[in-house]
A and B are shown apart, each in its own frame.
Chain A
Amino acid sequence: MSDAATGGGRNGVLLPFLWKLAKLVLQVALTFLGLLVVTFLIGRVVPVDPVLAVIGDRAPQSVYDRVYVELGLDRPIYEQFWIYLQKVLTGDFGQSFLTKRDIVDDIRRVFPATLELATVAILIGTLVGIPVGVLAAVRQGKFTDQVVRVLGLIGYSAPIFWLGLLGLLVFYARLQWVAGPGRIDISYEYAITPKTGLLLLDSAMQGQWDAFRNVFSHIILPASLLGYFSMAYISRMTRSFMLNELAQEYVITARVKGVPEWRIIWVHALRNAAVPLVTVVALSYASLLEGSVLTETVFAWPGLGQYLTNSLQNADMNAVLGGTLVIGVIFVGLNLLSDLLYNLLDPRVRRQT
C-alpha cells in the first residue's frame, strides 16, 4: 500500500494502475478460493467413504476410528476446509489411492505430455486459423467464406473422440501414415533422457533425430485434431475482427493513398485485429486442456486428461479433485494472462487505466 502511495506521488498514472492490479489480484484470489470451495464440497458429497478408501473394507473398527480422526473427519466442516486449504496451499493434495504416490508428483509427471500436445495443437490452430480467418473476411460472402464457415461448423459439431477414432482408423490402421496411440514407440522410450519432459524438445536437443521423427509421428494426429478444433474458433473470431477493422476509416484512407491491398489487409488491419486475437488464442489454449481429456483417452496419451479419467473410473477422489483443481488454476491463470496481455497491447485500454 505504501508502495502505491509513493508511486502515485511521483507519477499520476502509477497509482490507478496499482489500484487496478490490487483489485485484479484480489479477484483472482477470490476465484481460487472459490475453486477450492467447489472441489472441497465435491469431495464431501462423494458416496465413497474416504476412510475405507485408505484402509480397505476388511480393517477392524479400531483402525477405522483412528483413520477417521487422522483424516480430520470428526471436526466441524469449516475446520476441515481450513485444513484442506492449508494442505493445498503447501502443495499437498494427498496420496493417490491408485498409484500410491503423492498426487502432486503424479501431476508433475503427466503434465509435460499434456503441455506438449496442447502447445503443438495451438501452434497448428493459430498458424492455420488466422490466415484462413483473414481470407474468409476478405472474401466475405463468397465461396471461400462459405467453405471456411462449413469447416468451422464441422469443428463445432463433431465429437472430438469420434474424429480421433476415425483418424486412427484411416491414417494409422489403413494408410499407415502416422504412428498409433501413445507418445513414443517402446524401442525409443529409453533412448531419450528426460530433461524437460517435452519429448520433441528433449530428442531434438540430444540430437536423437530418429526418436524425434518417431515422437513427431505420434503427436501429429492428436495435435492436428485438437488444432482443428481451436482453428474453428480462431478463424471465426479472426474473420469477425477483420471485418470490423476493414470497415474502419483508416483502411479507406490507406486505399485512397494507394497502399497495395495486400498490405492493407495483412499489415494495417491484421495488426489491429491482433490485439483481441491474443485473448482468443489464450482462451483456446486453455480450452485445449478440456479437449485433451477426451483426446488423451482415445490416443492413450499419458497426460493429465488420461490421469483424470483413469482416476475417475477407479473412484480415486483425491486424484480427481487434485487434477480438477490444477486444470482450474491453469484455466484461471491463462484467462488472467490474456487480460493482462490485452491491457499491455491495446493502447486505448492502457490509457483508460
Chain B
Amino acid sequence: MTTTRREWLLTDRPASRRQARLGQSYRTWLTFRSNWLAMVGLGIVLALILIAIFADAIAPYNPVLGGDLRTERFLPPFTGNHYFGTDDLARDIFSRIIYGSRLTLMVVVLVAVIATPIGLLVGTTSGYFGGWVDTILMRVTDIFLAFPRLILALAFVAALGPGIENAIIAIAITSWPPYARLARAETLTIRDTDYINAARLQGASHTRILWGHITPLCLSSVIIRVTLDMAGIILTAAGLGFLGLGAQPPQPEWGAMIAAGRRFLIDQWWVATMPGIAIFVVSLGFNLLGDGLRDVLDPKARK
C-alpha cells in the first residue's frame, strides 16, 4: 500500500518520534497557511530577506555614488531606469531602498539576538528562584519599563554618540524588559510542575533546569512577542535615523532618507515618500506575521 507524503504526515498513528514531530509541524503550518493575512506577512518578510541578500543583483545603480549632478538630480519616478526617481545628489532612490533593506534587517536581527537572551535570562531566573532575586530583578525591569522606549533610546544614543551600532545597542537595551516579564510569568506556571520536580529529584542543577527545561518552554511565547515587536523596532530605528541619531549619511537607511528628503517635500515629494513606503510595508509584514504566529502557536490568546 502506497501512501502520499501528506497522508504520512497526517497519520494519527505515527511510527516514529520524527514522524510525529514532522506531522505536528505540518499541522501547524496548515493552520498558519489558512490565514491569508499571515501569509502576506510571511511573504513580505521573506522578500525582505531575499532582497537584502541579493541587493547587489537587484539594484540597478550604486546606492552611495550619485549620477550626473547637472542632469540627473530630482528625476521623478519612472524616468528611465529610475523606478522611484532620484534624490538631491542624483542617487537612484530605488537602489538606495534596496540596499537599505540590509540595514533594516541587520537592526532587527541584532536587536532580537541581543535582547531576547537578556530577557529570557532575567525572566526565567527571576521566576525560578523567586524571593529577593525576583524582587530585585523585577524592580530593575520596571525601571526600564518606566521610560517610554524611544525617549530612553534617545538618551542612550545621546550618551553613546550617533551611529547605527549605537542605535542598535540602545534599542536592545530598551527592548528586553517585556520579554523578561513574559518569561517570568511563563516560568511561574512551569516551575512547580511534576516534571520539573522530577528533574530536580534526579539531581539536575539549577542551570540545567533553567536552560534545559524551563527556557525551551518559554521560547515560543517570547518568540511571538519578539516578532510582534519587530515592527516597533524598525519604527524606532527609523525614528532615530530620522532624528539624525541612527545611521549616518551616506548610508541608505530609510529613516535618514526621509529626513534628507524632508527639505524637498513640497516640490520633490518622492524623495521622502518612497523610503516611508518601504518602512511601512516591512513593518506591516512583521505585524501580520506576528499576529499569525500568535494565532497558531499561542492557543491561549486565540479566543
Contacts and interface: CB of A to CB of B under 8 A. Distances in A.
Interface string A284-300: 00110110011001100
A289 B239 contact: no
A165 B265 contact: yes
Interface in A290-333: 290, 293-294, 297-298, 308-309, 312-313, 315, 317, 320-321, 324, 327-328, 331-332
Contacts of A156: 231, 283, 287
Nearest to B147: A328
Contacts of B154: 293, 308-309, 312, 320, 324
B279 A331 contact: no
A11 B235 CA distance: 52
Given A31-B146, A161-B239, A290-B151, A166 B273 contact: yes
Nearest to A36: B143
A297 B243 contact: yes
Given A173-B266, A289-B148, A159 B155 contact: no
B151 A293 contact: yes
B148 A320 contact: no
B159 A45 contact: yes
Grouping DSSP codes into helix (H, G, I), strand (E, B) and loop, the B interface class, with mixed when no group exceeds half, is: helix
B155 A324 contact: yes
B113 interface: no
Contacts of A39: 155
Interface residues of A, number: 50
A160 B242 CA distance: 11
B143 A38 contact: yes
Interface in B132-158: 139-140, 142-144, 146-152, 154-158
Interface in A195-251: 243
Contacts of A340: none
A34 B144 CA distance: 9
A186 interface: no
A-B residue pairs, 4 tightest by C-beta: A34-B143, A162-B276, A290-B148, A157-B284
Interface of B: 139-140, 142-144, 146-152, 154-161, 231, 235, 238-239, 242-245, 255, 258, 262, 265-266, 269, 272-273, 276, 279-280, 283-284, 287-288, 303
